[in-house]
Amino acid sequence: MASNLIVLTFDTMDAADQVREALVKGKHEGALTIDDAAVVVKDAEGKVHVQNQVSRGTWTATGVGGLLGLLIGGILFPVGGLVFGLASGAVVGRFLNLGVDGKFVKEVGEEIKPGTSALFVLTSHENEAATLAILRQYQGKVLQTNLSSEAEESLKKALKDDSPGPESNAVWKS
């Protein structure tokens, strides 16, 4: 199933992390699915800080690698095989680029204003109603999505975002 990328910006440095925490809580309650998330904060001095949650793809590849390493190395060196499998699985998961693109995260971090933050969320099998219910508690702007126009409008209404439509964000479309 295709993933949906949602990039939101906020006027304070802590808002993106608060929204991420609320979405993760919704994930743990089974209301929605988050494949990856990253928070970018630009402090008052203009320094960019990235807090990245490890993607589900990396964890999956790590688990599969660990299991294969244990099976293959089980006879000769079980612990070494497990460690090698876990490490190689994590590397493979990162190289498969299954999460939010780090280069894009850095680009957005450079573009946002000092004292603000941005949230990148990669979702699949999303429960739109649950996501919108969580986001209604916050105020932010939609920087980019690959959602349908209708879904993007619903998202903007939930965030009280009165900025122009998607064509204004064409610079960020990939």
CA dihedral 29, 31, 35, 38 (to 10 degrees): -80
**Does the model's pTM come out above 0.85?**
no
- How much is the pLDDT for 54? 46
Count of domains for the chain: 2
Residues 6 and 147 sit within 8 Å (Cβ to Cβ): yes
Q: Mean pLDDT throughout 4-11? A: 89
Do 166 and 114 belong together in one domain? Answer: yes
Domain boundary, last residue among 95, 125, 159:
95
Please give the Cα distance from 62 to 64 (Å, whole number): 6
Do 37 and 110 belong together in one domain? Answer: yes
* CA dihedral for 161, 162, 167, 171, sign (positive or negative): negative
Do 132 and 167 belong together in one domain? Answer: yes
* Residue 132 phi, psi (nearest 5): -65, -35
Our separate counts of H helices and E strands in the chain read: 6, 5
- CB within 8 A of 97, min separation 6: which ones? none
Instruction: Identify the top-confidence range among 32-36, 68-72, 158-162, 164-168.
Output: 158-162
- Residue 167 banded pLDDT, cuts 50, 70, 90: very low
More confident residue, 86 or 121: 121
Q: Mean pLDDT throughout 54-76? A: 52
Do 68 and 135 belong together in one domain? Answer: no
Domain that holds residue 157: 4-54+100-172
What tens digit of pLDDT does each residue of 102-160 get? 787 788 888 899 999 999 888 776 677 888 888 889 999 998 888 888 888 888 888 88
Do 44 and 13 belong together in one domain? Answer: yes
H helices within the chain, ranges in order?
Answer: 15-28, 56-73, 78-95, 102-111, 128-135, 149-158
